Chains A and B, each alone.
Chain A
Amino acid sequence: MAEIDYSEPRIGVFVCHCGTNIAAIVDVKKVVEEVKKLPGVVHAEDYMYMCSGIGQQLIINAIREKKLNGVVVAACTPSLHYETFARAVESAGLDKQRYEIVSIREYCSWVHFHDRRRATEKAVRIIAAAVARIRNNRVYKPIRRRIVKKALVIGGGIAGMTAAIDIANAGIPVILVEKEPTIGGRMIQLSVTFPTLDCAQCTITPKMAEVGKHPNIKLYTLSEVVDVSGHIGNFHVKIRKKPRMVDIEECRLCGWCSNACPVEVINEFTRGLSKRKAIYLPFPQAVPAAYVIDSEHCTRCGMCVKVCPVNAINLDEKEEIIEEDVGAIVVATGFDLYDGRKLPEYGYGIYKNVIDSLQFEQLIVPSGPTKGRIVRLSDGKPAKTVVFIQCAGQRDVNHLPYCSKICCMYTAKQALMYKSKVPDGKAYIFYIDVRTAGKGYEEFYRKVQEIPGITYIRGRVGKVWEDEDGNLIVTGVDTLSGELLKIKADLVVLALGMVPQLDRELAAKLKISVDENGFAQEVHPKLKPVETEAGGVYIAGAVQGPKDISESVAQASAAASKVIQLLSKDYIEKDPLVAEVDESRCDGCGLCVSTCPYGAISLENGVARVNEVACEGCGMCAAACPVGAIDLRNLTEKHFDEMIKAIYGVKSR
């Protein structure tokens, strides 16, 4: 391939119609005509779908035939197709630093559909700025960084465990961080799982055991990630590990400690349906298989220490900060249920017999707090009538605007399980729509719907209250018949929506963004569903959006495969767009040194020196330098000057 000559700018502009997405609003022919007049532009053309094979070939041919040394693609957003065109221009021998994609779709046609003339003019201005920028871009050698062949998975639910096992099986060491004393996530709290009705514990416990004994997986429970620095291929993380106070290796699970412990607290595993001690085993199959002290409630009385036959307990154990270097991160922190107390009309948190869907799961589990008997929590009497309220706090602008997608299925499952345990019981299910898309799901729902004693009622519940005899009274409207309904019930079960379990602070540390509802944001819902804006950080499971188990598992394996792809390389090429010092101008004042948030600049022999690997390319130093001696590569003073001039050089008509 002929070497490209970068001396005089020869820029090609490629304007995409995106079908009609752009062309229906922006007059692309006019745009082409206008951009041809821009300084440095020697070629401009438009095409229906620039991202298609033919579209890319147009670019490649033009680079070769017109001897282009710069390319501007005006199309959709860089997050969608930057890489597509980067590969195309590089295949024609042009360095991608002399290519840019600017959005005239998200940034123009899709938001200015009301004004064709201005949208067209704006598109020209956007392209003019990009041309000015590319004209001044220099080609720098890429900076190579070593990749740390180790991965971090945050969250030990089914998604996190699956990702960890997949990565570990590829021979890559994994660190799995779980904030609870055991892995398992929400799935371990479930009874059976739709649509196959296999027991949740039987499916998940072998996975948990596999994680526990996998030679490539290092598990930190009671732990949270408190700091993340670095970048794709090379992150440095700090993990805070709360004291367990029980030695995992020594504990023999005899349970004497728990018997001796005088402190009783609410058991979060059963969602408050039972009590546990301050030293406890979360549940029999917990991994790691060891008791744990709840340091918040423990009174340090020392009773457990006295009875432990193997001296496994150490009440003086302190919190630890563990530091690890990893090359990639998977975030799988899962979900929580929406807070039912925000729905006072349903009486959650007011009446004992109004419970949430996870509590109902616990009532079904044979080893659960009621040994699998479905009873009124107020007095332990058998529950002969159960009302299920679907979409509780969901699809409601005052609560959660979205649909959590799995509740129709789990409510059908719960009604079925209820009938199998209480054959003469009655189940009423209030729904708005029943949504059961999924393999085998509709069939499952049909089956449940036909069971005598299970009644589906289309409508919303207005209010739930308790009468003098401790029965719940549910009032609502059947919107199909228009009838007002009043049902006397023993239990009311709320299908509360799924909310993400991802605090903003952790998201900010990981540099990933969240959507309007707080779920982790993928780069592209269709094409990059597990990638995040932060390179090297991937997402899996319910933290990205409401999901059932099969979807969580599929996404976890997808995230794992991305991690494996990344960590199978030895080096990663870093963007060379870092700060650069003009030594002849630098007077060594050191202002940049103190400005840099990464400590990437130092003074050597009286002039500033940039550590290219540490520099993140923000440009803070360039704006601070009083003599203009430090600049950001390819976003220099000259770039700004010319971009601004180009935007205002375009004539309005």
Chain B
Amino acid sequence: MTWEPWLIGFLEKWTAGLAAESAGVNRVRYSPNIVLINIPCPSRLSPVHIVKAFLAGADGVYIGGSMPPANCHYKVGNYKTFKRMYLLKKLMAQFGIEPERLRMDWYVSPMYRALAKNIDEFVETIKKLGPITSRERVDGL
């Protein structure tokens, strides 16, 4: 069978998570090749989680956080997440994973169309990049 990507997405449940719910209610279709997990706040994620996801088989990791400045449920979680992931993206190239495989977008709950569009775009990007060639290099980190 031909390769197809499976992505993992972490959504802030108060904003992006609700947007995903509204996408459903409004029947806005998007690519199924991503499993979305709701978490209270993406600031719970450390770079290690992302690396582990790539190691376990993720072809791309998506983070849907809350739109700055005022929508974070936990005051500053979105800024924290952005800073951490920004640094991680800088590092990713060094161990052979294209930084484009990690994507972050920021939401307020009515942005369900944007969510669907962003996911489709991201899945397309990953399809173009193809599978991750060597996961061992990541392991050696």
* Contacts from A to B (Cβ < 8 Å): 77, 79, 103, 105-108, 110-115, 118-119, 121-122, 125-126, 129, 504-505, 508-509, 511, 513-516, 521, 533, 595, 597-598, 616-620, 622-624, 632, 635, 640-641, 643-645, 647-648, 652-653
Contact = CB atoms under 8 A, between A and B. Distances in A.
A-B interface, 4 closest residue pairs, ranked by CB to CB distance from nearest = A106-B24, A619-B44, A648-B57, A618-B74
Contact of B40 (A77, A619, A652): A619
Given A111-B28, A504-B70, 4 more contacts: A79-B21, A505-B70, A597-B77, A620-B44
B14 A640 contact: no
B121 to A, nearest CB: 15
A640 B24 contact: no
B71 A616 contact: no
A645 B74 contact: no
Given A511-B14, A618-B74, A618-B77, A647 B49 contact: no
B131 interface: no
Given A521-B109, A619-B44, A107 B36 contact: yes
A584 to B, nearest CB: 20
B32 A623 contact: no
B119 to A, nearest CB: 9
Contact of A640 (B15, B35, B40, B52): B52
Contacts of A623: 43-46, 49, 80, 84
Contacts of B1: 652-653
Contact of B14 (A513, A597, A624, A643): A513
B29 A112 contact: yes
Contacts, number: 134
A250 B45 CA distance: 59
B80 A644 contact: no
Contacts of B49: 623, 640, 644
B32 A107 contact: no
Contacts of A508: 70-71
Nearest to B46: A623
B8 to A, nearest CB: 6
Contact of A635 (B24, B36, B39, B52): B39
8 contacts: A508-B71, A513-B18, A516-B110, A598-B75, A622-B44, A623-B49, A635-B44, A644-B53
B60 to A, nearest CB: 12
Contact of B80 (A111, A129, A620, A643): A620
Nearest to A505: B70
B30 interface: yes
A635 B38 CA distance: 11
Interface size class of B (residues with CB under 8 A): 35 or more
Contacts of A648: 6, 56-58
A647 B36 CA distance: 10
Given A110-B25, A111-B23, A643 B37 contact: yes
A645 B56 contact: yes
Interface string B1-31: 1001010100000110010110111011110
B92 interface: no
A618 B110 contact: no
Given A623-B45, A648-B57, A106 B52 contact: no
B104 interface: no
A421 B18 CA distance: 51
B41 A619 contact: yes
Contacts of A509: 70
B77 A114 contact: no
Contacts of A647: 6, 8, 35, 56
Contacts of A106: 20-21, 23-25
Contacts of B33: 118, 122
A622 B80 CA distance: 12
B117 interface: no
B116 interface: yes
Contacts of B37: 129, 643
B76 interface: yes
Chain B CB count within 10 A is highest, among A111, A521, A645, for A111
A347 to B, nearest CB: 33
A632 B77 CA distance: 15
Given A106-B24, A644-B8, A111 B74 contact: no
A470 to B, nearest CB: 44
Interface string B49-68: 10011001110000000000
B73 interface: yes
Contact of B24 (A107, A122, A125): A107
B126 interface: no
A513 B24 contact: no
A125 B14 contact: no
Contact of A107 (B20, B39, B40): B20
Contact of A652 (B4, B15, B20): B4
B38 to A, nearest CB: 8
B132 to A, nearest CB: 12
Chain A CB count within 10 A is highest, among B28, B44, B52, B116, for B44
Chain B CB count within 10 A is highest, among A129, A617, A618, for A618
Contacts of B35: 122, 125-126, 129, 647
A447 B37 CA distance: 56
B108 interface: yes
Chain A CB count within 10 A is highest, among B29, B32, B56, B108, for B32
Given A111-B116, A620-B41, A648-B56, A533 B14 contact: yes
A126 B32 CA distance: 11
Given A623-B45, A635-B44, A641-B52, A118 B14 contact: no
